[in-house]
Amino acid sequence: MAARDIGDGAIAGIITGIIIGVITILLALIGLASLMSYVDINAVFGGVLPAAGGMAASVTAMITFLLFTAIVGLILGAIFGAIYENIPTTSAVTKGIIFFLVLWVIFGLLLPIVVGIGTAVTAGATAAGIISSLIAAVIWGALLGLMFVWVSRRTTAPGKAPVTRP
């Protein structure tokens, strides 16, 4: 574990967190827009939570979400950088995917079972949540691996050969 890898991982994590945040916001906006022809979204949000309809698409909420994903990315990226050399593959992308699959097993499968979340949810909704979180984990892990290599190559000191990581 090198301090350089932790720093590179943290920077890569911030970049990856912002990318994932933007993708999530775009998917949420597309999802809300596709429901508009079938359901009056403002009435639904206004009926369930007052002022949530305007908040769902507000710029402040989007910026807050991006900051949150950047902070989560920073933490996860630093952890990834710290354990990078100990992940048993050769490619940075597969190391990122393995890292996030382990997180997915812990937080996406085991923790909800232990805590008992989802007991009142249908099997279809539970399966959809598990599959969508698995897809998100694979995408986030692959992006983190790519960004880690990119940041590592960018932060090499002048005059030194860049680190070659597959």
For 41-61, the pLDDT digits (tens) are 555 544 444 444 455 567 788
What per-residue confidence (pLDDT) applies to 25?
83
Cβ atoms of 100 and 137 within 8 Å: the answer is yes
Q: 2-40: per-residue pLDDT in tens?
A: 778 899 999 999 999 999 988 888 877 776 556 555 555
Rounded distance between C-alpha atoms, residue 25 and residue 38, angstroms: 21
- Cα 144 from chain centroid (whole Å): 9
What per-residue confidence (pLDDT) applies to 72?
94
Stated pTM of the model: 0.75
Residue 159 CB burial class (10 angstroms; 0-12, 13-18, ≥19): exposed
Q: At 84, list the tokens.
A: 């990078």
What per-residue confidence (pLDDT) applies to 154?
83
| Secondary structure of residue 81 in the 3-state scheme | helix
SS3 content of the chain, % helix, strand, coil (to 5): 80, 0, 20
Q: Which of 113, 90, 88, 103 is nearest to 134 (CA)?
A: 103
- CA-CA-CA-CA dihedral for 55, 61, 62, 64, to nearest 10: -170
Cβ atoms of 20 and 66 within 8 Å: the answer is no
- CA-CA-CA-CA dihedral for 120, 122, 125, 126, to nearest 10: 70
Q: 99-150: per-residue pLDDT in tens?
A: 999 999 888 777 666 666 656 666 676 677 778 888 889 999 999 999 999 9
